[in-house]
Amino acid sequence: MPPLTPRPFTRRRPAIRPPGWKPLILVLLWPVLLAAPAWADGHGEPAAQAGAAVQRGQYIFRATGGCGCHTDTPNKGPFLAGGRAIRTPFGTFFGTNITPHAQTGLGKWKEADFVRAMTQGVAPDGSHYFPVFPYTSFTRMTREDLADLWAYLRSVPPVKRANKPHDLGFPFNLRMGAWFWKWWNFRPGSYRPAADQPPDWNRGAYLSRALGHCGECHTPRGLMGAPVAAMRYAGSEDGPEGELAPNITPHRTTGIGEWTLNDMVWFLETGLKADGDDTQGLMSEMIENGYTHLSEADRRAIAVYLRSLPPINNALIRKNKAE
Ligand code: HEC
């Protein structure tokens, strides 16, 4: 306990203390001392626990890249209030409002609704989400990380902004299509650590595959719009917003095989590539709002995991230039 009186005074204290000051303080403090544990039980601890969950949740949020599709950054839209157009070969999706606004956001959702949406791609009303919402990756998140992320999302300012309907071509405009797609392509499942790999590799795999969802952009998609497993991280000419997402396997000529581990860690921190160029578009947003805030150890773990991938020979052509 800190001294009740400043030190100089304590030192100059007379040898014989005036009687009775200790009991007096005790008497004065008694109600406070009695009430303190009850107050802590009633408010302090849960509040502190909730605060800690929000903080952990913010870290998870950043590990996902900052959920950039839910903020209309190009038009300076409010944080996480949706409306961002995401162009894909299947049509244009609009990121939804995920602030806790009761009518236009997730205000009425329960934690269980959130967990179901993230891990099974099912909305509270039972309808199915299109895989542009990367539940295909988030399904691997741990229950604890989901709870923390939910705590964080509850803590952001609610914004009133109605969602825009997606603008999709046939047959993707049919919600049934989302159901069919899932039935065909999607199996919910958690991340299971590989027993034969060290902890940093497993952490990196979890960060990349469950949270950072790198493969959602960097893996090419087949006709059905599902990432092609055999081409994981080999790059995609049709990334979101029509951007090319490069081959990030360690292939020497078509991937990033020339990058060192440190190049990768540095890139995730600064957005500067091994050749000194800075990254553009969505990737720079993901770094700025997300990956740069990760601990050095976590960025390194991602790099360790990526360096261990099988190199895939996949040269990509920037369509907008080639066409
Ligand atoms: C929302 C889509 C998206 C996600 C998610 C994403 N990326 Fe990217 N990434 C891109 C795009 C687009 C580019 C190209 C940017 C450019 O041209 O400057 C890129 C570029 C890169 C590059 C530069 C490669 C090169 O050859 O220049 C690396 C490395 C990279 N991403 C790694 C990652 C990692 C690791 C993750 C996950 C932790 C990740 N990305 C998640 C879209 C994404």
- Kindly write down the DSSP assignment for every residue of 140-196, as one continuous string: TS-HHHHHHHHHHHHHSPP---PPPPPEE-TTTTSHHHHHHHHHHH---------TT
Position 13 in a domain: no
Region of poorest pLDDT, from 8-22, 169-183, 266-280: 8-22
pLDDT of residue 199: 97
* Structure confidence at residue 293 (pLDDT): 97
Mean pLDDT of 60-70: 94
Residues 153 and 228 in one domain: no
In 3D space, the residue among 215, 208, 109 whose CA is nearest the CA of residue 153 turns out to be: 109
Q: Are residues 201 and 321 in the same domain?
A: yes
The average pLDDT across 3-30 equals 46
Domain of residue 283: give its range.
Answer: 191-323
- Whether 21 maps to a domain, the answer reads no
Please tell me the predicted confidence (pLDDT) of residue 15.
47
Q: Are 195 and 323 found together in one domain?
A: yes
| Ligand 1 center–CA 246 separation, angstroms | 7
Rg (CA), the chain: 26
Which of 157, 180, 209 is the last residue before a domain boundary? 157
Structural domain includes residue 24: no
Helix axes 261-270, 296-307, angle to 10 degrees: 130
CA of 89 to the centre of ligand 1 (A): 19
Picking from 10-24, 69-83, 144-158, 207-221, which range would have the lowest pLDDT averaged per residue?
A: 10-24
Q: How far is the CA of 278 from the centre of ligand 1 (A)?
A: 11
CB-based contacts of 101: which residues, under 8 Å, 6+ apart? 81, 107, 158, 159, 160, 161
What pLDDT sits at residue 159?
Answer: 97
Task: State whether 198 and 145 are in the same domain.
Answer: no
262: helix, coil or strand?
helix
Q: What pLDDT band is residue 44 in, cutting at 50, 70 and 90?
A: low
Tell me if 10 is assigned to some domain.
Answer: no
Return the pLDDT at 186.
85
37 found inside a domain = no
**Integer Cα distance of 311 and 256 in angstroms:** 9
Please tell me the distance between residue 135's alpha carbon and the centre of ligand 1 in angstroms: 19
Mutate to test the pocket of ligand 1, among 283, 298, 316 (most ligand atoms within 8 A of CB): 283
In a domain, 51, yes or no: yes
Count up the domains in the chain and report the number.
Answer: 2
Local confidence band at 252 (pLDDT 50, 70, 90 cut-offs): very high
pLDDT-derived band at 20, boundaries 50, 70, 90: low
- State how far the Cα of 104 lies from the Cα of 70, in Å rounded to an integer: 13
Q: 213 and 290: one domain?
A: yes
Query: Lowest-confidence range among 62-71, 151-160, 176-185, 284-293?
Result: 176-185
Shared domain check, 199 and 319:
yes
Contact between 215 and 164 under an 8 Å Cβ cutoff? The reply is no
Per-residue model confidence (pLDDT) at position 43: 52
Give nearest CA residue, ligand 1 atom 13: 245
- Evaluate if residue 196 carries a pLDDT over 50: yes
Residues 252 and 150 in one domain: no
Chain-wide mean pLDDT for the chain?
Answer: 85
pLDDT tens by residue, 119-154:
999 999 999 998 888 999 999 999 999 999 999 999
Which residue's CA is the closest to the ligand 1 atom numbered 40? 214
Distance CA 305, CA 36 (A): 48
201 and 313 part of one domain: yes
